[in-house]
Structure formats: C-alpha cells, structure tokens
Structure 1
C-alpha cells in the first residue's frame, strides 16, 4: 500500500494547511519531527499565498527521507511550462521524494471546462517531457467525477481526492482500476462530545457545503439538498469529518483503505489558533504507523 510509481508513501500520511501561515523556522522544525517520528508523506495545499513548488522545495531541503506532495498545485497559478520546469528540478534535486499534485483548487472560471483545461495542460507538459524526458516527474490529479478519474488513470500516476466519503473511495477505485494510485485526504477531530465535535466540524465544512462545485460533488455522492444546507446534517458531517477518540478515528480511517485507497492523508482540524497540531500527529503516529524498524 502507498506505492506511487515506485515511491512508498506508506498507508497513512499528514495533510495540513498549517504551513501556509507558519514562519519557515517552525515549518522546518515541524517537518523534521514528522520525519523522525516515521511519517513517510507530507501533503499540503496551495491557498494562502505561498507558491506551491518553492514551498515543496523548501520542505524537501529541510528533510532527508519524507516524501513531499503538492495537494494540490493549482494549474491557474502557473503555466504548464513552469509546472514542468519546477517539477523536473525537484525530481532531479530530490530523487524519488516529490509528487506533483495538479488541480483547480477553489477557482472555477466561467466558460472553462475543467476536463478540457486539464487535458490541455497535461498535453503541454508531456510535449516538454518528450523533448527532455529525464528526470521523471511523478504526478497525480485532483479528481472526483468519473471522467477526471479516468484522465488521472490514463495520464498520471493516479488521483488525489479531498473531502470525500468511504463510498466515494470505493467508486473511485472502480474507475481507476487496480493499478493507478488513489490518495485520499480526510479530516479528523479529537473530540468525543458529539455536540462539540459537530459544531467544530460544521465550522470547518462551511466553505465546502456552500460552494456550488462542492455542493454538486456531495449531491453526486447521494446527499440531498436538505442534508447539505444549514451547516449540514449529522450524517454528512459525520461522513466527512471523523471525530471521537483515537481508536474510533483510526477505525474509520482504515475504512478508506478497505474501500481501495492506497494512501490516506490525514488532516487534523479543531486545533486552536496559534497552537500546533503536533501532539495530535504524534498520537496518530502511535496508532497508524508501523513500529520503528518494522
């Protein structure tokens, strides 16, 4: 499990927005501890103003073994030529440690068809690689619907999904087939009180439950308009955020693996502003990672 074109990411990794806002010294200290703890993969988005490929380069330069994954680098933020050039440099400077995740992020442009835009972007990258093929760039695509999943299967190493259910993971595996990589992000919350947990989860999910393309995604997953509206029903909240004690959270995360995920990138939410998620990452390491040396 966790293999992407020869890279062993492990079955579980870390996904966080935290590094978008932290000073570089704290980022360095945190990712070094994650590496020492035994995490094999670190995923981060591109939303807070830090450029995705230079961000990846900094994290790679601070570490020796951990895999750094763009989850995702937005295709609107750079040309395909720039993405290829940056990805190629990282593949050359840090062999077998970087994965370039590509996607749209939160931006949707009027009149632009996402599938066609992504296909054109990949066409340009592949044309550049054909002229200068080494070193190899490992890439995955943010994908939810069957057509984008098919593109991820056929034109990349596989797919990266975000805020989906175990049922979607099962559907995605069917589309991708047995060989393509499937990495699934899922948020977790260390809170056992149902009212507190759901209140925090709803705050986290607010943006996702109120943007049209996310609403469309959840409708395709079988949730009604009533379940999505008003902060989300208990059912959708509990499906999208796994909360409770560590054993409950771990059991639910393993559901993605049983449904066909190669790798689950765990996002800890509910951390107070100014506080680090590191204590939770340590607890997850104890529960999810194999013993040292195993």
Structure 2
C-alpha cells in the first residue's frame, strides 16, 4: 500500500461533522479520547460553524500523535496565499501531522479549471516564500478521471467521499500505484433494513439531487432509475452506506482496502440529536485497531 512520506494515518480513521458545533472544551476532550482509543487520523469537513484551517490548528494543539486532515478545506473560502500560509505554519508546528485536503465545494465553479488555477497560485506562493523543514502535504477531493489525474500529478493523492467499492477500484487504476487514496465510508449500526435505508436516504438525499453527484453515480453504472428522483434505489443506498451489525460494517471497510484504498475514513450515521457517537467509535476501535487499543 502507498503512503505519504513522513505521515502515519493508519488504515482506518474518523470522518465526522460531530465536532462542528461542540464547545471548544468538549471538542478537545472528544478528540483526546479518540486519540487514546488508538485512532491515528481525524478527518473533518469545512461546514458553516468553523473555519477549516483554524479548526485544524486547534485539533492539532489538543492532541499529541493524531494526524488531522481537512476533508475538505474549500478553495472558495480563502485565497491561496492564506491557505498556503496556514498550511506552512501547521507543517512547521506539527511536523507530519497535518494533511491539507482541498476541494472545490461550490457547484457554481468549473471544478477542474478552478482547482487547477488554485494549485497554480498555491505553487507560486510556495516558490516565493520560505518553507518548513517538513513539507506541506496535500490531497484533492476527486471523483472523475480528470480530477483524479490532477490529484495524481499535482498532489500527494486523492480523497473520495460517498463512493462505492467499485469506484475505489477505478480510482486506484487512474491514480496508479504510488499516490495516496483515502476513502470516506458512511456506516450505520442498524440491522433493520427499512429503518437503515430510511436513515441513509435522509442523509444521502442532497447527494441524489446535485447534478455533479448524479453524474458520478451514472459513470459508475447506475441508472436514472437508481437515482429515483432523489430517493435512491435500495441498491445504490446499500452500496453507499454500510449498515448492519459490526461484522458486516467491518467487512465493507476492508473491501475498500482490498481493491486499492490506502486508508478508509469512517463516518458514523444515525446518532440521535443530543447523543454522542463515541460509543460507536469505541466499538470500531476495538474491532479495527486491536493492537493500538491493547497497548
């Protein structure tokens, strides 16, 4: 399996929105417990609550070993020089522990053009300013072949979100052997098929109504009938969200590794408002990280 020089993300990590609106003290306690459980990578999106680079710095300052990954920092949210400046500071302050994940995050932009121009500006900033001893490492959010090629050629690899095991295999083929491939996988601890699919559909509805996501699913061989007007067929929902008991979920996570992923970032769905996902992270740590939790 490929890796990013100087970084240890492990084979499994956490991908979550859950800390987005927590008070800082609780966010610190949560991420510290996750680190103690043995999780070596923490991925978080850029939502409406907090600025991505500031949050990355706070999470890094709250932990000792864990790699913190922007999954993603939106390129439209800040100018390239500020993104690079923040990433340089984090690379210098926390060597080998910050991974800058970049994504377009704006349907109004032409993704490939916007990302290419942003990378040009980032690279120009690199050449004009002193760099840390530990280099800035970056991933691109990528789905289609052309963005995956850009991630292969101009980043350390790719980060995919809401994809199938089949897509992971295709992404590895495009990337080739060396670039890093990190895959998000949504999981749901629910064994009742009707309940599980209802929860999954609520989460996925937005992705079944966005043109660029629909195009992604159609490229994977699904049909308009699978999109089902934004509802999603059972087949598509089941391929995107792993639901069931612990063994079923763990098996799906390993499937991504078997076809070429280097790392799977796990997003837990289905937690009731006001309830913590920590019990699920504990169960998953015991199943996926036995050597780390036993240490």
Number of the residue aligned with 1:220? 219
Measure the CA separation in 2 of the matches of 1:236 and 1:251.
Answer: 18
- The 1:2/1:287 distance shift into structure 2, 3 A limit, reads farther
How does 1:1-294 map onto structure 2 within 5 Å?
A: 1=1, 3-105=3-105, 107-109=106-108, 112-135=109-132, 136-230=135-229, 231-292=231-292
Cα contact 2:187–2:241 (8 A) shared by 1: yes
TM-score by length of structure 1 reads 0.96
2:17–2:45: 8 Å Cα contact kept in structure 1?
yes
SS of corresponding position for 1:20: coil
1:129-150: CA deviations, max 9, x gaps?
1233522110000001111101
Is residue 2–residue 263 contact of structure 1 (8 Å, CA) maintained in 2? no
Q: Distance in 1 between matches of 2:49 and 2:200?
A: 25
Moved more, 282-291 or 237-246: 282-291
Give unmatched runs, 5+ long, in structure 2: none
* Contact 1:102/1:141 (8 A) holds in 2: yes
Please say if residues 2 and 11 of structure 1, whose CA atoms lie closer than 8 Å, have aligned partners that are also in contact: no
Q: How far apart in 2 are the matches of 1:104 and 1:5?
A: 25
1:97-155: CA deviation from partner (whole Å, max 9, x where unpaired): 000000012x211xx42111111111111111123352211000000111110110010
CA RMSD of aligned residues (A): 1.2
SS for the counterpart of 1:39 is coil
Q: Distance in 1 between matches of 2:2 and 2:264?
A: 8
How many residues matched?
291
Please say if residues 182 and 263 of structure 1, whose CA atoms lie closer than 8 Å, have aligned partners that are also in contact. yes
Partner-residue secondary structure (3-state), 2:267: strand
Q: Is the 8 A contact 1:60 1:68 kept in 2?
A: yes
* Distance of 1:5 and 1:133 partners within structure 2: 20
SS in 2 for 1:207: helix
Using structure 2 for the length normalisation, give the TM-score. 0.96
User: What secondary structure, in the 3-state scheme, does the structure 2 residue paired with 1:4 have?
Assistant: coil
Deviations 1:200-240 (A, max 9, x none): 11111111111111111111111111111241111000000
Alpha-carbon separation, structure 2, partners of 1:61 and 1:224: 46
Deviations 1:73-105 (A, max 9, x none): 000000111110010111111111000000012
Q: Answer yes or no: is the 8 Å Cα contact 1:103–1:141 preserved in 2.
A: yes
Kindly state the Cα deviation for residue 49 of structure 1 after the two structures are TM-superposed.
Answer: 2.9
- Kindly state the Cα deviation for residue 48 of structure 1 after the two structures are TM-superposed: 2.2
